Amino acid sequence: MRITFLVPGRGLVGGIKVMGEYAGRLRARGHDVAVLYRRGARNFKRWLQRWTSRRTSDALDESGCALTAVREFTADSVPSADVLITTGLRAVRAASVLPSGKGRLVEIVQGTIHVEEDPAEARKVMALPARRVAVSDHVAQYLKTRFGVDAAVVPNGVDHSQFYNNERQFRVPRTVGMIYAAGEMKGTAEAFEAMRWIRDQWPDVRLVMYGAKRPRSAPPRTEMSVRPKTPRLRAIYSGCEIWLAPSRSEGFGLPVVEAMACGVVPVATRAGGHECIIEDEVSGFLVPVADSEAMAKRIALLLEDESILRTMSAAAHQRSLAFDWETSTDRLEELLRTWVGEADRPPASLGA
């Protein structure tokens, strides 16, 4: 099949990583894959600085596909294809007005937060005649309840040849890991508050983070990695005993599964997608959203009792084996072949 991916941008975020994984794996299976990403207009010097920074580690780079930067997704910039895969409200809307020869429109819905931020736009996009893939049962149920839209569930995966820890060690002092991201919905403030409480009881506990940029402020003795490549990312996970996932809304939780594959025990919020991954009190702990005290108490339990930590570490790794990129690509490829064979439907109006 000729498959075009329209990606909103570049970077380290999970949604872009998912698109890169599928693009690379479909290409490896012999499909003709093109990846286009949006590059907004900006001062050239500023753009060049950001571009070179991204090039040190980028989810799309690792796909192995040829990448094309465009200002907008238009009939001139998007090649003809059998399938047009995209994600995000703006990209889906842009793709919906392209000529039919650009491919059958498929939207990968990766969360609910952006939908809720612009519900009017979301209603218009959900009315479009696209086929939809949800990254979790949580997202699929949300789409059905909120918009009456059906979506095939294809969970994200893990590359177990990249994320593993065959020599799991439980070091003292313990290490807690997390992603750093700005914004209230990421729950970073609550995570920092939980770590302050933990440090009052266990001052030597380490905190390591990774993300797209360094925080303006963080708890003392915090180690930060910016845009780590995959080998470094595995080292970060493998150096942790506990992974803190404090998001207030999560479509899936890809870093959580990657950490679990390395034998790290997650303490995660009941933010939607986390519940589809973690078996509470078996392969990790689930806590209420925005509850710093609950986060701290679960971390404390793992710090206090090494037998619980070891048992849950093994369970976390075992649970991660249920998520595999090749299996997910099998399912997506099957869906794409089915949808390409369907009769075309007339385009829908975007409305006012």
**Is 28 a residue whose pLDDT tops 90?**
yes
Q: What is the mean pLDDT of residues 263-280?
A: 98
* Confidence label for 352 from pLDDT (cuts 50, 70 and 90): very low
> How many residues are there in the chain?
352
Distance between CA 352 and CA 336 in Å, rounded? 31
Token pair of 82, please?
A: 């059998």
Distance between CA 225 and CA 239 in Å, rounded? 13
Distance between CA 21 and CA 29 in Å, rounded? 13
Lowest mean pLDDT, pick from 75-84, 106-115, 154-163: 106-115
- Is 176 within 8 Å of 242 (Cβ atoms)? yes
DSSP states along 217-261: S--TTEEEEES--HHHHHHHHHT-SEEEE--S-BS--HHHHHHHH
Distance between CA 86 and CA 74 in Å, rounded? 14
**Amino acid in the structure at residue 342:** E
Lowest mean pLDDT, pick from 88-92, 187-191, 202-206: 88-92
Q: How far is CA 328 from CA 10, 162, 204, in A?
A: 22, 16, 40
DSSP states along 66-90: -EEEESS--TTTSPP-SEEEE-SHH
pLDDT in tens, 133-180: 999 999 999 999 999 999 999 999 999 999 999 989 999 999 999 999
**Residue 114 has what pLDDT?**
76
Token pair of 147, please?
A: 């918009």
For each of the domains in the chain, give its residue range(s) and CATH number, in order of start: 2-157+325-340 (3.40.50.2000), 175-320 (3.40.50.2000)
In the 8-state DSSP scheme, what is residue 351?
Answer: -
Which of 79, 119, 114 has its CA nearest to residue 95?
79
Token pair of 50, please?
A: 């950001």
**Residue 348 has what pLDDT?**
41
pLDDT in tens, 53-77: 444 445 666 666 778 999 999 999 9
Distance between CA 163 and CA 185 in Å, rounded? 27
**Is 240 a residue whose pLDDT tops 70?**
yes
Distance between CA 190 and CA 304 in Å, rounded? 21
**Amino acid in the structure at residue 301:** L
- Is 87 within 8 Å of 7 (Cβ atoms)? yes
Distance between CA 179 and CA 187 in Å, rounded? 10
Which of 235, 323, 225 has its CA nearest to residue 274?
323
**pTM of the predicted structure, to 2 decimals:** 0.90
Longest dimension (CA), the chain: 64
Within the chain, where are the H helices? 14-28, 44-55, 89-96, 113-117, 119-126, 137-147, 188-201, 230-238, 254-261, 292-304, 306-320, 325-340
169: left (phi over 0), alpha (psi -120 to 50) or beta: beta
**Residue 62 has what pLDDT?**
64
Q: Is the dihedral of CA 158, 8, 215, 117 positive or negative?
A: negative
Q: What is the mean pLDDT of residues 232-251?
A: 97
In the 8-state DSSP scheme, what is residue 279?
Answer: -
Which of 273, 284, 267 has its CA nearest to residue 319?
284
Three-state secondary-structure class, residue 37? strand
Three-state secondary-structure class, residue 7? strand
